[in-house]
Structure 1
Amino acid sequence: MTSHPHDALFRAVFSEPENASGELQAVLPPSLAARFDWSTLRHEPGSFVDEAFVGRHTDLLFSVSLRHNRAERAFAYVLMEHQSEPDRFMVLRVLGYQVRIWEQFLKDHPDAKRLPAILPIVVHHGERGWHEAVRFSEILAIEPDDYAELSEFVPSFRFMLDDLIQVSDEELRDRATATAYARLALFFLKQTRRGDALVQGLHVFSALLRELWRTPRGEAALATLLRYYVTVKEGTTEPLRQAVVAAIGPKVEGVLMTIAENWVAQGLLKGKAETLLEVLEARGLRVTSEQRARILACTDPTQLSRWAKTVVTATSADALFAP
């Protein structure tokens, strides 16, 4: 299974606690955010999204200690919505994911007497904004007059929503708790699919681009953002190149050229890998998801050429990987 470009960017940026911390603090109510020691934020392994929704949702799980009791840790569960149209029953899916997190927690801590709190957060970057339920009570077929009597017997929670389309570029830029990389990533997620909106609004983030460029990993971070743009956006990338140079200065030109050359090389390798898979399919040779992932992830042109020769006479996909 290949990684969706939105998924790849989101994970590349927000799986790092320093970037996730600011986003979480910006989304949570200030009084609630103040209860946690954000220096203890830790990215937890695993994904809890149904396989059928992997192309539409991406999730990250974090744990963080409470200030008044560092031994107690809560979970922050961040789910990003990829699709343009919001998921009508997202709040039900969030409940299911929370149950899976608790079940995994009990497997890892069989002697636990209580379950940790889970703070569910949904980041949506669809073009039309979020217009579905955020509270579980909103999807129940219960009239308001009856809910008071029934509320003790049904789940009752809401998720916190970060609907990027409803946040102005200036507000994203001014999220003081978030790193420059995190704020720029949210801006790219919000605007890349919206025509020329990203290039036209990039001047708002000029100072953040320069701040990112000066960080130890600034060059790699900038490459990640630009790679996402090229993958998602159709058409010429020249306007974006000009905007980045205008923001950072001529010194970035050399890096942009290197990035562009790498994109071309990666595109050629990806084309060879996809052709190899097409040949396997045409010959009726079954390919497992692991084998598909290995072929698509290959960056060695010699290995791809060797596989291309082998596939002509191979009797199974396994033959490609034989010693």
Structure 2
Amino acid sequence: MKRKTPTPHDALFRRFLTHAETAREFLEIYLPPALQAVCNLSTLKLESGSFVEENLKAHISDMLYSLETTTGKGYVYCVVEHQSTENKMMAFRMLRYSVSAMQQHISQGHDTLPLVIPVLFYHGSVTPYPYSMNWLECFDLPEQARALYTGDFPLIDLTVMPDSEIMTHRRVALMELVLKHARQRDMLEWLKELVYLLSLDCYTDEQLRTAFHYLVQVGNTSDPERFIRGLAEQAPHHEGILMTLAQQFEQKGRQEGRQEGRQEGRQEGRQEGRQEGRLEGRQEAIQQMVRTMLTNGADHETIMKLTGLSAEELANIIH
């Protein structure tokens, strides 16, 4: 999508509102009193809009300002968009721009969202401006949208949900039970619940494979193969897929065992090599010491006493 072609309107708008004093007075005139009360207009600063999504840049001719709050805590951003043509989805577009500004703020290391105040400056031929500036009115179901987006979002918290409730969820119960308990309880403790869920016969083979692979990868058990085989014995309808999984885990265990054995062998070899190297180093040091002592006129008895060498070892070094 091509970027919006600058117009004479854009040039005039920008020429005035890139000037800090002009922008400050503009906001003093037009910001609602309740919002102006939290803005320290003396700290107004023009910001870059480089973070705006490309498809929005094609439409936006805006000014973005940052301001400190009157309490000195946090920031407020103000987006002023000028428009000479009415747009039914303008409120939603300005919301998207505002969220982009919030994301940029968070990306800079802040841990709370800033207040972003979008303002539309309209000078079109249709009068008055024909569309709502409430983005919730852009929905086909505005009342439901208002309830959804002005309250808490739905939360599914498995950590506080009783297992008895999870067990009534049929097709999603296996996923929920596995995700809730895999890392916290020994899998053998909830084998009975798994057997019951398998008896419902409402999961696909791929769902079962994925669930039990997950259990073995992150689950809390010392013997995953025994767990799978025990499950297969109590859920004969799924014995085929479960035994196949058990065999795969058994084969994987053998491969990992061989790999660990090779790794341990290499490690032992490295340790032996280091030990041999240290031994050779000590022998060379003793040999050098013996030669130095002989050069300085020390007798054999003195050398053996100081180095701990036997007569035979000393003779081997000398010769």
TM-score normalised by the chain length of structure 1: 0.41
**Higher RCO, 1 or 2 (CA under 8 Å, sep at least 6)?**
1
CA radius of gyration, larger in: 2
In terms of fraction of residues, the more helix-rich structure is 2
